[in-house]
Amino acid sequence: MDLRLLRRVLAEASPYRALLMGTTFMAILLAPLATVRPWLVQKMVDDHIVAYDLNGLLRLALIFVAVLLLHAWLTYLFTYFSGVLGQAVVNQLRVKIFQHINRFSLSYFDKTPIGTATTRTINDVETINTVFSQGVITILADFLTLFVVLGMMFHTSWELTLIALTTSPLLVLASYLFKEAVKASFQRVRSEISRMNAFLQERITGVRVIQLFHTEAANRDRFRDINRDYTRANLDSVLYYALFYPAVEIISAASLGLMVWWGARGVISETVSMGALIAFPIYLNMLFNPIRILADKFNTLQMGLVAAERVFTLLDNSEEQEVSGAKQVERLRGDVVFEGVHFAYRPEEWVLKGVDFHLEPGKTLAIVGATGSGKTSIISLISRFYTHQEGRIAVDGVDIGLYDLHALRRRMALVLQDVFLFSGSVLDNISLRDPRISREQVIRAAQIIGADDFISRLPGGYDYPVMERGATLSMGQRQLISFVRALVFEPDILILDEATSSIDPASEAIIQRAIETLITQRTSIIIAHRLTTIMHADQILLMERGEVLETGSPEELLKKDSGAFRKLHDMQFIQPEWIVSLS
């Protein structure tokens, strides 16, 4: 067992120190109290039943009932408060993990399945609960009970105790083998459930693609294999339990038989009292029952520690967004400069190579180029989702890394091609539940963008419940909602990434008007394949394989007869002769 890891888990309970100490105190109190009952049975037999003392017997019987009720009450309190302690720690850990995951850089999510993070936050954290509710404190209580019971047994009859313990080496050996086998199976269970969660998360999210390309059968077979591995890991642990408990029953029965055989001889020879012979089976049950379940509890504790190690590995992950900058800003002018910027997602695999441009405040920059030319990487660097390796990026003359990350992003808005909407109302998806944004501000922004008409026609209007990822809304409606979201936060720098690429021609006119409204009097960066959406831009940046191929205003670039932008323009706007002849 990793004691360092156990100490760290217990340290998570430090805010609930009083509850932890109270639960531990009850565990200490329960141990000697449990041994009072067989001792009372022995006294009742030796001092009162044999002597025909009914009054004394009644008095001890009442004490026995009182002790039994007190023990039951303390057991209830111990079980309840140890569970409360575990849930309190779990609740605290879930919040801590969620906040930590939200601070991760995008590079973490580029290489980690979402299902893995989900497993850490839900399944693994819940398993840590067992460290408190069924683990370390209950193990402490069981060990205390064992020592107290052994002490009482030796005090009552050392000969009967030694006879009863002759089978204990077999019990210890069986418990050790069981503990090791179940530990290995539990580790497999944790790994397999993580695989299953990651698979389900990905396949359920991409169910449209699966259905579109009719790959349900292949995914069903793949899930069947994963599910089979998970089931086998669970069945292994079931097998070990099925073998262990009957073995313990046989060992404890053999111990009881030896004790009764030797004890009966002792009663006949008057070396053992009748009360001791009757009380010893109760002592034996109190001795063997904790030993029987201790192995299981050690495995439960070990499983909790395995889960804790996974959780702490996640919490110790340092792939957080760089928030080292301290410069606060209420507003930005929107002056953006790239000077010799090199950037790679993986070392030496350059995505951007020496990118230079200057975007003046209030102007619009359009970035065009083939897929993979580095367009999205540029806006990711401006938003500080990633950090460039070489060169300089400045906003309003200040290196972008010197800004407080949250202060910088509050002055930016990003509209993506794939609009992400959360489960909730239209109003919540626009305001993102920011208390600074009122319903009136949302409605006013929707009216400016031109989205108020369609939102008002929805059942419930702005309170219309949006399904997961906006499944019940059209692409154009989702895009308009994202524009309203961008406007209501009043950004100084607006970034549009392929905002019209998936829009039909009828919706494109509406979206185009929304774009023109959004970019008015603010610095804007637009990525687009359709040149119709960028001909109003003040500056165009044509990218190719991570480098700036051409830059200038649309008019300047169109004057270059053999220029790359001119060729791109002619491909989209000038029909080939064979099409003209057909018309």
Find where tokens 């809304």 sit. 473
Asked whether the beta carbons of 538 and 363 are under 8 A apart, the reply is yes
SS3 304: helix
Mean pLDDT, residues 324-339: 87
N-term to C-term CA, the chain = 81
Mean pLDDT, residues 2-13: 81
* Burial of 459 from C-beta contacts in 10 A (0-12 / 13-18 / 19+): exposed
pLDDT band at 573 (very low <50, low <70, confident <90, very high): low
SS3 464: coil
In angstroms and rounded to an integer, the radius of gyration of the C-alpha atoms of the chain is 36
Interatomic CA distance for residues 549 and 542, integer angstroms:
6
**Residues 223-258 pLDDT 10s:** 899 999 888 888 887 888 788 778 877 887 888 788
Top mean-pLDDT range of 175-179, 438-442, 504-508: 438-442
Q: Which percentage of the chain shows pLDDT scores above 70?
A: 91
Residue 257: the pLDDT is 82
Domain ranges of the chain: 18-316, 327-411+522-583
**Residues 139-158 pLDDT 10s:** 777 778 888 888 888 877 78
pLDDT > 70? residue 64: yes
Asked whether the beta carbons of 534 and 366 are under 8 A apart, the reply is yes
Residue 112: the pLDDT is 67
Instruction: Please check whether the domain covering 327-411+522-583 is classified as CATH 3.20.20.450.
Output: no
Burial 180-207 (b: 16+ CB within 10 A, else e): ebbbebbebbbebbbbbbbbebebeeee
Helices (H), 371-474: 375-382, 405-410, 426-431, 439-449, 452-457
Residue 504: the pLDDT is 58
pLDDT > 50? residue 583: no
Residue 356: the pLDDT is 92
pLDDT > 60? residue 1: no
pLDDT > 50? residue 378: yes
Q: Which percentage of the chain shows pLDDT scores above 90?
A: 8
Asked whether the beta carbons of 353 and 525 are under 8 A apart, the reply is no
Output the CA–CA distances (angstroms, integers) from residue 363 to 369, 409, 484, 525, 565, in the order listed. Answer: 20, 19, 21, 9, 20
Mean pLDDT, residues 415-436: 85
* Burial of 405 from C-beta contacts in 10 A (0-12 / 13-18 / 19+): middle
Output the CA–CA distances (angstroms, integers) from residue 100 to 141, 175, 311, 385, in the order listed. Answer: 35, 39, 11, 16
Q: Which fold has domain 18-316?
A: ABC transporter transmembrane region fold (1.20.1560)
Q: Which two tokens stand for residue 425?
A: 């109302």
Residue 216: the pLDDT is 84
Interatomic CA distance for residues 239 and 192, integer angstroms:
18
Amino acid identity, position 567: K
Residue 578: the pLDDT is 39
Q: Do domains 18-316 and 327-411+522-583 have the same CATH topology?
A: no
Mean pLDDT, residues 311-319: 78
Interatomic CA distance for residues 367 and 372, integer angstroms:
13
Mean of all residue pLDDT scores within the chain:
81
pLDDT > 80? residue 385: yes
pLDDT > 60? residue 304: yes
